[in-house]
């Protein structure tokens, strides 16, 4: 019984980590091409557009 619950937890953890990874990759895929647009739109240099703290 304990082994079955452990396998179930692995499925949930794998699903959550996969979803989190895909979310991060999709956000990078959307944001990186916008950097050039931000540079021209807001008249800022490249370092400030990329490394805005």
Token readout for 34 is: 């916008």
Instruction: State the residue range of the domain holding 36.
Output: 2-50
The answer to whether 39 and 49 have CB atoms below 8 angstroms apart is yes
Could you list the pLDDT tens digit for every one of the 53 residues in the chain? 456 677 788 999 999 999 999 999 998 887 777 778 878 888 888 777 677 65
Q: How many domains does the chain have?
A: 1
What's the alpha-carbon Rg for the chain, to the nearest Å?
19
């Amino acid at each position: 019984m304990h082994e079955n619950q452990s396998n179930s937890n692995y499925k949930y953890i794998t699903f959550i980590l996969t979803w989190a990874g895909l979310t991060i990759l999709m956000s990078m895929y959307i944001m990186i091409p916008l950097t050039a647009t931000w540079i021209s739109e807001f008249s800022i240099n490249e370092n400030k557009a990329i490394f805005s703290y």
